[in-house]
Amino acid sequence: MKITNFEQLPLSAPIQRALAEKGYTKPSQIQARAIPVLLKDRDLLACAQTGTGKTAAFALPLLHKLSQSNRKPFRRGVRHLVLTPTRELASQVAESFKVYGQYVEFQYGLVYGGVSEKPQIKQLFKGLDILVACPGRLIDLMEQGHVDLSQVETFILDEADRMLDMGFIRDIRKIEGKLPKERQTLLFSATMASEITKLGQAMLHRPEEIRIAPQGTTAEKINQSVCFIAKGAKQKYILELLKQHVEENPRELTLIFTRTKHGAKHLAKKFNQEGLIADSIHGNKSQNAREKTLERYRQGEIDILVATDVAARGIDVKNITLVINFDLPMESDAYVHRIGRTARAGESGQAISFCSLEEVALLRQVERLIKKPVPVLRDQPYHEQDIEDLHLSDRPVKKPAQGGGNRQRRGKPSNNSGNHSRSNFRGKSGGNSGSQSNSRANKANKSNRTQRNRNR
């Protein structure tokens, strides 16, 4: 049976009511296919394009189950656990549970680093139906005995490919080790490299697999283009572009990605000097400052947000109609996630990428991933035909040096997402034992990480 409206799905009345109030009538493809599978308690590996409603696809069946059950969470216990790679995404997912579950009685909590542990410990003490967490802080609290995961019924990895890559996999394994063997496990992502899929499959028991579009594809409604431009001309051009865009589209939001924290801060400052209303978010800002900025952006108080990849995944802000890659990302899947911040929920949007001579290798790897060329915007004052010619040629090109931008190597944890505040070198006994060797290791680890992430 083809599912064309929510009423065809066996979701309880409180959920249907919240959906109707939210104005959702038709389930998205991923929702129509995933919800029935999840209601049957099956494990699931789901891949769907950015902005196509993955959060509701896992949140609605969970809330349905909670609405049908009288079981109460036990002290420090968690019934359903959702892990996300960034704090911003964790808080957005928790907000979705709140909205979709407004007529369901349930306790939910949110755990991530960069803010005080105390309120989180208090929340956990009572026991939670749903916990949305970033891995680093969760492990800290787990090791201090504040949370008991032994009776988790559902384990969900949002942005699963990121969670299973080497930056997070040790943490995920540690958390998984505390979960009961018998549980439902769900992996959701927009991109999923095959080696990561294999890792994920090892966590799943006879899973269903749903792939709505081939992995790495970008939403059709994003109008993509690339500008071949000299590195030194980028700032001038972006200012011209933005001034025109803000003037013509005063109510629309623009999101700009840079490779480094310094770059994000510098650009936002420059925009302000030029009379544009802009701010930045990046790993050097405190969590509170990041959240405040994001909220002001959501409310339309800021027209332009300049961000590092902290904002690349999952962040759902209405009205972002233009995404600009001021720098191309070092990793091609980040491109798909970055531009996926526009054209959400069936809307359309525009994504412009700047490609300098040094970035040709990065553009080539993006096009390999998305399996199509990005259309060239030649009708711009800084067009560099030489760069385009190099791009089209067979000449081998090197990726820019890590030191020139992103120091994070694939496979290394990044503080960028802000949830690796926990030390990876903590002694086996856990906790803050304060032993000298541990503190030395902590220092060494911290300085390594600082070195790696200096620029983000």
Q: Please report how close the Cβ of residue 367 comes to ligand AMP at its closest, in angstroms.
A: 24
Q: Please report how close the Cβ of residue 54 comes to ligand AMP at its closest, in angstroms.
A: 5
Q: Which is nearer to ligand AMP, 277 or 345 (CB)?
A: 345
- Separation CA 109–CA 84 (nearest Å): 13
Q: Please report how close the Cβ of residue 253 comes to ligand AMP at its closest, in angstroms.
A: 13
Mapped onto helix, strand or coil, the DSSP state of residue 354 is strand
Name the one range near ligand AMP by CB under 6 A: 21-29, 284-292, 321-329, 354-362: 21-29
54 binds ligand AMP (CB under 6 A): yes
DSSP letters, 213-245, are: S-TTPPPTTEEEEEEE--GGGHHHHHHHHHHHH
Q: How many residues lie near ligand AMP (CB under 6 A)?
A: 14
Name the one range near ligand AMP by CB under 6 A: 45-53, 77-85, 353-361, 431-439: 45-53
326 binds ligand AMP (CB under 6 A): no
- Separation CA 276–CA 293 (nearest Å): 15
CA angle 376, 303, 265 (to 5 degrees): 80
Name the one range near ligand AMP by CB under 6 A: 47-55, 156-164, 223-231, 408-416: 47-55
Q: Which of 14, 53, 263, 329 binds ligand AMP (CB under 6 A)?
A: 53
CB atoms within 10 A of CB 64: 23
Name the one range near ligand AMP by CB under 6 A: 24-32, 107-115, 203-211, 368-376: 24-32
Q: Which of 14, 27, 135, 136 binds ligand AMP (CB under 6 A)?
A: 27
How is residue 398 annotated by DSSP? P
Q: Please report how close the Cβ of residue 24 comes to ligand AMP at its closest, in angstroms.
A: 4
The encoded tokens of residue 186 equal 């769900």
277 binds ligand AMP (CB under 6 A): no
* Of 109, 164, 452, nearest in space to 283 by CA: 452
* Of 332, 329, 351, nearest in space to 340 by CA: 351
Decide: 57 and 9 in contact? Cβ < 8 Å: no
In terms of Cβ atoms closer than 10 Å to its own Cβ (0-12, 13-18, 19+), residue 267 is buried
Q: Which of 159, 165, 316, 331 binds ligand AMP (CB under 6 A)?
A: 316
**Between residue 328 and residue 347, which ones bind ligand AMP under the rule CB under 6 A?**
344-345
Interface residues toward ligand AMP, by CB under 6 A: 24, 26-28, 31, 51-56, 316, 344-345
